[in-house]
Amino acid sequence: MSNAPKLARIRVPNWYYRLKYTGQMAEKHCSHVEQIQVVASNTDICRDCVATGDTWPALRMCLICGYVGCCDKSRNQHTRKHYQATGHPLILSLHPREAWVWCYEDRALLDLDSPQFAGRLA
Ligand SMILES: [Zn+2]
Ligand SMILES: [Zn+2]
Ligand SMILES: [Zn+2]
């Protein structure tokens, strides 16, 4: 139905992603992948939760500006709030055993298909 690519190759300084469109929304193209600016996090906490003494189940990172916040299962949903406040739609799971990107706006799930990715998180 759509001519959306199943793979997108994203160049950021020094390395690249191969993003594979997967899951139920596999045919849905994400129109934001070219906006990716930040691929490495520099923190392993949700600062907004720490500020209020809360904890979180998992962290996500905004690939547009590098904001790190808690996931949608967290009662604070700081990454979702970041998207709502800024319009930055692409988040990367920072869970060490997960390798996916979610686009809030397109509801597109993208698998990171890059050996470099695992190395980067370790
Ligand atoms: Zn998108
Ligand atoms: Zn949080
Ligand atoms: Zn952001």
pLDDT of amino acid 122: 29
Q: Give me ligand 1 centre to Cα 95, in Å.
A: 21
List the single range of 18-22, 30-34, 65-69, 81-85 with lowest mean pLDDT.
18-22
How far is 45 from 68, CA to CA, in rounded Å? 7
Q: Give the number of C-alpha atoms closer than 13 A to the C-alpha of residue 87, restricted to the C-beta side.
A: 2
Q: What is the DSSP letter of 35?
A: G
Neighbours of 52 (CB within 10 A): 8
Q: Which domains are delineated in the chain?
A: 7-121 (3.30.40.10)
56, 48 in Cβ contact below 8 A? no
Task: Give the pair of three-digit tokens for residue 29.
Answer: 């193209």
What is the share, in percent, of the chain residues with pLDDT greater than 70?
67
Please report the pLDDT score of residue 78 as a whole number. 98
Centroid of ligand 3 to alpha carbon of 27 (angstroms) = 25
